[in-house]
Amino acid sequence: MSISPAELEVILLSLKVALWCVGISLLPALLMAWLLARKEFYGKTALNVLVHLPIVLPPVVVGYFLLVLLGNRGPVGGWLLEHFGISLIFNWKGVVVATAVMAFPFITRAIRQAIEAVDQNLEIAALTLGRSPFMVFLTITLPLILPGILAGMTLGFARALGEFGATITFVANIPGETQTLPLAIYSLLQTPNAETAVWRLVIISVVLAFAAIALSEWLTRRSVHRLGGNL
């Protein structure tokens, strides 16, 4: 059951991608969740549908759209390559983008539900006492939705670890560059006499997912306990 250098490389790349995915998605997801939960505006339904579209679309379709938009000849990808020398296809940065797009609705949904559960009378009372909207959010809303944020981060991290379809369509399956755990397992399933390696990576995937959920539960309970002690 010893892990080979190639398998270790896959594990480390998967963890790096998942962490970057959550890191770049969290703030936009928080802003989007607050917008959808607290504001009424023309086109809100369309925006909500657009945010949640990656959940219902086949991941391969999402990956194809990313390839069209962000490929080196795409309108966005071509501009990035021409002006900044940034290419997102066939490298780990593209994997981060693909996983972030797929994880974003899960993070947003968890945070939005937490915001909607906050009693708006608390926010209104703080505003009438002279607090600015930003300070109300920072000192009242944010602490109350912290468990939802942690839940969203966990969902996003787990989704990034398990992402397959959009990744392989957008950035291919390149060992050492874009091959994460699901892609490595897929490759091994097509390799003769690789059952042991498949099981090894499957077990590692389960352990990582379990650890992420357990950590989220622990952090959530601590945040709820601290919040209860401060009320």
pLDDT score at 170: 95
pLDDT score at 28: 96
pLDDT score at 225: 67
pLDDT score at 214: 86
Local mean pLDDT, 10-residue blocks, the chain (231 residues): 85 95 96 93 94 94 96 92 91 95 95 91 88 88 90 91 94 92 94 90 91 81 64 49
pLDDT score at 230: 52
Task: List own/partner pairs for 45-51 with CB under 8 A and 24 or more apart.
Answer: 51/104, 51/105, 51/108
**Phi, psi angles (nearest 5°) of residue 34:** -65, -40
Q: Would you say 110 and 150 are in contact if contact means Cβ atoms under 8 Å apart?
A: no
What is the C-alpha to C-alpha distance for residues 20 and 12, in angstroms, rounded to an integer?
12
What is the C-alpha to C-alpha distance for residues 210 and 214, in angstroms, rounded to an integer?
6
pTM of structure: 0.90
What is the C-alpha to C-alpha distance for residues 49 and 147, in angstroms, rounded to an integer?
25
What residue spans define the domains of the chain?
5-226
Fold observed for domain 5-226:
MetI-like fold (1.10.3720)
Count CB-CB contacts under 10 A for residue 145. 27
From residue 67, give the alpha-carbon distance in Å to each of 17, 76, 175, 194.
18, 10, 19, 31
pLDDT score at 215: 82
What is the C-alpha to C-alpha distance for residues 170 and 119, in angstroms, rounded to an integer?
42
Report the candidate in 204, 202, 196, 175 with the shortest Cα–Cα distance to residue 187: 175
